[in-house]
Structure 1
């Protein structure tokens, strides 16, 4: 959630910056975030978000939940012995490393985050960096995309050899906020067994043409924010899918989830918490224009419609992938999109239905 990614904007730098993270007993994932200029035009806020965990023997509680998962999916025990399942379930079974003090390196400066890792192992923070210090660190991966890299420091002051990307977003321009499940990849959220099978037992399958559509928008200067109800534990697998399929890079905003928090209920209950993320992004960039891309299976029409009513000058277009089912109802859409100006909402079934020109 973006609201949880915006703590008090403080950080420690210099020789007293420290970490109690030991390289040999924890793993770290850095999630792609955003950096943005503040009103003075001379300072950047650089968001930091990551995950610390370790691999330990699986206890009885998690073994029991795996048995429940197997029964719900109605698959033989052998299905959970595959390499793919073991790879997908690994982070869900890992031990969350709470209470870790995190220090990150940006260029030559080391910043200690003011808050330690949460009970779920996540750490968040926002660094304040002067423009003259950040500018030499910026790299351009394309004519319209700039980023800087972060590294996590261990207790010994070494870096872990992994880099996290911070995507720099200008105050003006066009941003794409996109759902993932059933919008960019086939998930079949409405069917519990199929959703679980697609999550843990099958290779992720992108929806044809969406990567190419997004690439055309990227070439026109769009920035991308991927907002989904997917658990953060699936981020590395989503990242692999996006890289292989050619989706543009961008920030990720997924859902906090812990295996002990009732696996099936929490994983299958798709709460519309992404409304908070979307509103936060719109507030953060009041001069940018936004295109919201989603599908009809979950609450995207209602969430996007509410966002467009709250920010009518920023939300230029809502694109909803229409899928068969009881939720594909004209009366539902009429309620979700009430009061919006004509032409803002467009339904589509395939990427080819969408114009490649960004709205102005």
Structure 2
């Protein structure tokens, strides 16, 4: 089956399952690197007899090499820059009157001998003027099996807004200035013990211009300037409190975010979002796309209660949210998180990487960065079994950073959702102390764990973990699953993408 979109094919390889191989996009410049960080390629270990490989081998040369390697293209090859202009039939001169906008991503900062060191990152772009009819056409690209006219009015509006956030034109070579203010609205007992900083008000020009893809990502040292009432930032080696400063970008009212100054010791939770904090069903192609592009974000069961309890009971718990969704579409994620879960810093997939290997290992790249930024902190990792990166990267972090991984909590999506047909590999957990990790089914399974005490396993939650491939057709999960041809080629490819996000 060839899934062809003639208006985009020349500039945007969306997910073409044609009879020719999909071209690998050209290399992009590297983001501003942090010291001593190396991106590592995470090789996908597809068992020769596995369900996934049986599907891929059935496709032969018809399936993209990106999909076959476990990295689907649909959410990696969003159009950018000239590709957006070409697909919309516009030029730089058409965009000139449009205001410059900034996606400023909530930041974390660490304490150094020079003072507080804040990682500032985001993207500078312009929003083209796109008609509603054209947005409907573009939205239908993502709504596979559904037309936007078939959606409820609120879902149509969200689909158009989401699509508009994809079709933006990134602005290269821009000088970015960040203004820091101590005016954060901290919610009592809902922010992991975050306090409003009493100093640090200042304006800083970032040391680098934006990349060709409009990205900026760099650490900057804050001066301990006096606040409105004569207060100052508290030195990181004299406090256990997380201090918060708001960040505003010069020249726009869209580039607002918060920076969290995190002391050297304590606990940091790194939480995935899809199918952990919100209902996404990334393993179900049609539902996953509708939940991502059209439906309002909905919390997964009572997970907000669990996070609120952790926020109120674990002293100065630093919340960090990590999603490998590309940064163009993460504003919805951030708005949802801050309306539903404790305040915290954020990581997402930037647009510019130097090579395919960095793209393949984006989650590990971001995890290594925060682990190396806080070498004395202990980390709590929360995700689900539908993501192959998580299943390999999280147990590897236990070995790479001895003593830093306090807990690993993984939701077993195959246990509660019959539409999750894909196996997961638990072999990385062999040899790790059971008290350090737990596979859970509902949020309530997490109620009786002792994060601070290091007992992360609730004995009431039966594990029965064998080390190897699990899930439908594997391990103890039931009878084998065979692909009977009832799924379209597109559906299978989309499932491969969604289950590996």
- The bucket for the TM-score relative to the shorter chain is 0.7 to 0.9
Look up the match of 2:125: 53
Task: State the partner residue of 1:350.
Answer: 442
Contact 2:135 2:160 in 1 (8 A): no
How far does residue 211 in structure 1 lie from its aligned partner after superposition? 1.7
Q: Deviations over 1:45-74 (max 9, x none)?
A: 112112222122459xx989937725x611
2:452 is matched with which residue? 359
Alpha-carbon distance in structure 1 between the residues aligned to 2:102 and 2:351: 17
Q: Which residue does 2:473 correspond to in 1? A: none
Cα deviations across residues 280-302 of structure 1 (Å, max 9, x unaligned)? 21121111111111100012121
Distance 1:172 1:7, change over 3 A: closer
What CA distance in whole angstroms lies between the structure 2 residues aligned with 1:145 and 1:23?
41
Q: Check the 8 A contact 1:102/1:113 in 2, yes or no.
A: yes
- Once the two structures are TM-superposed, the CA of residue 131 in structure 1 deviates from its matched residue by 4.1
Q: Deviations over 1:264-320 (max 9, x none)?
A: xx9xxx955211111221121111111111100012121111111112311011100
Residue number in structure 2 paired with 1:314: 404
Query: Cα gap change, 1:128/1:211 in structure 2, threshold over 3 Å: closer, same or farther?
Result: same
What residue number does 2:169 align with?
95
Whether contact under 8 Å (1:309, 1:340) holds in the other structure is no
Q: Indicate whether 1:248 and 2:338 are aligned.
A: no
Distance of aligned partners of 1:293 and 1:4 in 2 relative to their CA distance in 1, 3 Å threshold = farther
Q: Distance in 1 between matches of 2:336 and 2:164?
A: 17
2:338 alignment partner, SS class: helix
Deviation at 1:183, TM superposition (A): 1.3
SS of the counterpart of 2:336? helix
**Secondary structure of residue in 2 paired with 1:73:** coil
Q: Is the contact between residue 106 and residue 151 of structure 1 (CA under 8 Å) also seen in structure 2?
A: yes
CA displacement 1:315-335 (0-9 Å, x = unmatched): 011100001144455xx21x1
Structure 2 counterpart of 1:208, from 301, 308, 318: 301
Aligned to 1:170: 263
Tell me if 1:34 matches 2:108.
yes
- Which residue number in structure 2 is paired with residue 293 of structure 1? 382
1:53–1:162 Cα change, 3 Å: closer
Q: What does residue range 1-360 of structure 1 map to in structure 2 within 5 Å?
A: 4=31, 6-7=33-34, 25-38=99-112, 40=113, 43-58=115-130, 66=138, 69=141, 73-79=144-150, 82-106=156-180, 109-131=202-224, 136=231, 144-154=241-251, 160=253, 163-219=256-312, 220=314, 221-245=316-340, 247-257=341-351, 271-299=360-388, 300-324=390-414, 325-327=420-422, 332-333=425-426, 335-354=427-446, 355=448, 357-360=450-453
Distance 2:267 2:111 in 1: 16
CA apart distance, 1:106: 2.9
Counterparts of 2:172 and 2:110, CA distance in 1: 29
Name the larger-Rg structure.
2
Q: Secondary structure at the match of 1:180?
A: coil
Distance 1:48 1:253, change over 3 A: same
**For residues 284 and 47 of structure 1, what CA distance do their matches in structure 2 show?**
10
> What secondary structure sits across from 1:66 in the alignment?
helix
Unmatched 5+ residue regions in structure 1? 9-21, 259-265
Whole-angstrom CA distance in 2 between matches of 1:29 and 1:239? 11
- Quick one: structure 1 residues 76 and 160, their matched pair in 2 at CA, closer, same or farther if it must change by over 3 Å? closer
- The two structures, once aligned, show a CA RMSD in angstroms of 3.3
TM-score (norm 1): 0.78
Tell me, yes or no, if the aligned pair for 2:102 and 2:254 is still in contact at 8 Å: no
For residues 65 and 23 of structure 1, what CA distance do their matches in structure 2 show?
Answer: 25
Shift of 1:44: 1.1
- Report what 1:16 is aligned to: none
8 Å CA contact 2:178–2:205 kept in 1: the answer is yes
The number of equivalent residue pairs is 320
More strand by share: 1
1:113–1:124 CA contact under 8 A, matched in 2: no
CA contact (8 A) 1:51 1:123 kept: yes
Structure 2 gaps of 5+ residues are: 1-29, 36-95, 182-200, 235-239, 415-419, 454-501
Secondary structure class of the residue paired with 2:310: helix
Mapped to 2, the partners of 1:74 and 1:337 lie a distance apart of 38
Is the Cα contact below 8 Å between 2:268 and 2:379 reproduced in 1? yes
Q: 1:296·1:327 contact (CA, 8 Å) conserved in 2?
A: no
**Per-residue CA shift, 1:65-86, capped at 9, x if unaligned?**
937725x611125258821111
Matched residues in 2 for 1:5 and 1:204: separation?
32
